[in-house]
A and B are shown apart, each in its own frame.
Chain A
Amino acid sequence: MALKTKTSTQIGVTILGWGIALWLFFPIFWMILTSFKSEVQAISTPPKLFFMPTLSSYAEVFERANYWHFALNTVIVSVGATAVAIALAVPAAYSMAFMPSKRTRGTLLWMLSTRMLPPVGVLVPIYILARNTHLLDTCTGLAIVDMLTNLPIIVWMLYTFFREVPAPILEAGRMDGATRWQEMTMVLLPLALPGIASTALLSLILCWNEAFWSLNLTSSHAAPLTAFIASFSSPEGLFFGKLSAASTLAVAPILVFGWISQKQLVRGLTFGAVK
């Protein structure tokens, strides 16, 4: 009897687990599927699940827009913004976690509150500042903005990770004559590496998908993949094949990257922020 309820619960959980997963994943699956259809197949009613796959949509997308140009911009901006933000945030989080003062808590909350500033509220000044400093439509300009918008979250996440590292370990290092710099690079960083890695992963994902500043601060030269995809939206509305191919190209790198690093992301989060 007990065994029977257990098996039926097991079956229920399996069906529910797979059902919800398939439902949530379906739009992505359908996008990839549609990208291999011809335009006629893409809008056939009822929609086709089985068909002769073709690469014609991809060929047309590559012909119309320089995908690599957009992809390279996205990689430069995301990696650049994340690297600089981590480099700035590590010392800040180290200072907050191991040399806390009366103001530490307030500083942290203030940092997070700067992130609540709605980008649209400062769109006009940032646009004008970027134009006057010739940073408009450059990777540097966009990376700076992305870095600044993510910095508070990165500092906060690193702070929570660093707090999990027992202070006596660092003190032991100092007893042995380690400088602050050595203490940070040789003792703390290896210990907090999973946390730093998952913070960097999250930052990369957020930068990669950032749309507001990308669309407003770039036009052609530094336009990232978010802009690439927006250019396929309005006039090509009904060309589902091309739209899907362009979308798949825009999300594929980060999706695959996310799948691979998913375990690391979770391991890092378990280590600190949400423990």
Chain B
Amino acid sequence: MQAVLEHSPPAGATVQTAKRTGFLLLSPSVLILLVWSIVPLVMTLWYSVQNYNLVDPTLHGFAGIDNYWYLLTDPDFLHALLNTLVLVAGVLLISIGGGTLLAVLYDQEFFGRGIARIMVISPFFIMPTVSALLWKNLMLHPIYGVYSAMMRAVGLTPIDWLARFPLMTVMMIVAWEWLPFAVLILLTAVQSLDGEQREAARMDGAGPIARFRYIILPHLGRAISVVVMIETIYLLTIFAEISVTTAGGPGVASTNLAYLIYSRALLQFDVGGASAGGVVAIVIANIVAIFLVRAVARNLEA
């Protein structure tokens, strides 16, 4: 049946059929994503203007902008927003900067390179809850942690990293997880670079820094876009690492937007307030997305 339909129809009909087939093939994905993105959004919007607290059923009805007002005037909110941006920017900087340097390093021939590469990439396979527990207890614990032992060994006083520098420490843990991903992608890109081109540059007397600056770096544009795109999606919503290590504390020192909303919704049972936070988080994500998509889309289309 299909074969008959497709078998050399008149030219105009071919275009029509192709269009319809294209639409039919695309529509399942588009439809479910449409439902997935709109239904919860509308529900969130609805709850966000309601008085809805699970532990206080007497309080209900239309709240207007109260939930938003309460949230936006809360100093914790501003703090959480800032923390979110610091986390995203910090981890992106570390993984792109470090990832580029490591990609060039692991592109060099050396003894046991294959095994070294696998070791570098490994943290990406570790689930967030495990890496958070690992760093919190085995590595950074002020008494029993390996890093503390090393500091004592060289005569320093161990630091309680998660208590003293909560946000920075969470950032390092998250960067440890995502740097390998950047290395994986960037290394792939470096290796796809034409060997002859690099050889020619070397012959022409370009030093390693000039070769990196003028040959390798321009080639990495698209790969960097891929890393920024995928990592930002995940970094905007860091949750498990904070939940396991600091629970957002001390105070709100390491609370990001995701964790703030979570603590409102599930710990204080304030569905209305949490939904307002959700709407704000969505708005912020979209602002970031617009900038990001603008910057990255050009590279992705290349």
List A residues at the B interface (Cβ < 8 Å): 10, 13-14, 16-18, 20-22, 24-28, 30-31, 34, 42-43, 45-47, 88-89, 91-92, 94-96, 99, 101, 105, 107, 109, 111-126, 128-129, 148, 151-153, 155, 160, 174, 177, 179-181, 205, 208-209, 211-212, 215-216, 225-226, 229-230, 232-233, 237-238, 240, 243-244, 247, 250-251, 254-255, 257-259, 262, 265-266, 269-270, 273-275
Contacts and interface: CB of A to CB of B under 8 A. Distances in A.
Interface in B21-76: 21-23, 25-26, 28-30, 32-33, 36-37, 39-41, 43-44, 47
A237 B132 CA distance: 12
Contacts of A92: 25-26, 28-30
Contacts of B189: 274-275
A122 B44 contact: yes
Nearest to A100: B22
B266 A216 contact: yes
Interface of B: 2-3, 6-7, 18-19, 21-23, 25-26, 28-30, 32-33, 36-37, 39-41, 43-44, 47, 102, 105-106, 108, 110-113, 115-131, 133-135, 137-139, 143-144, 146, 149, 152-153, 176, 179-180, 184-185, 187-189, 191-192, 222-223, 226, 229-230, 232-233, 236-237, 239-240, 243-244, 257-259, 261-262, 265-266, 271, 274-275, 277-279, 281-282, 285-286, 288-289, 293, 297, 300-301
B47 A17 contact: no
B10 to A, nearest CB: 16
Contacts of A232: 133
Given A91-B26, A116-B286, A259-B122, 8 more contacts: A20-B120, A116-B232, A116-B289, A121-B277, A151-B33, A255-B122, A266-B188, A273-B226
Given A123-B262, A205-B125, A244-B138, A118 B278 contact: yes
B146 A43 contact: no
Given A20-B105, A122-B40, A243-B133, A251 B126 contact: yes
Contact of A96 (B19, B26, B115, B125): B26
B129 A233 contact: yes
A111 B29 contact: yes
Nearest to B132: A233
Contacts of B258: 118-120, 212
B281 A118 contact: yes
A274 B185 contact: yes
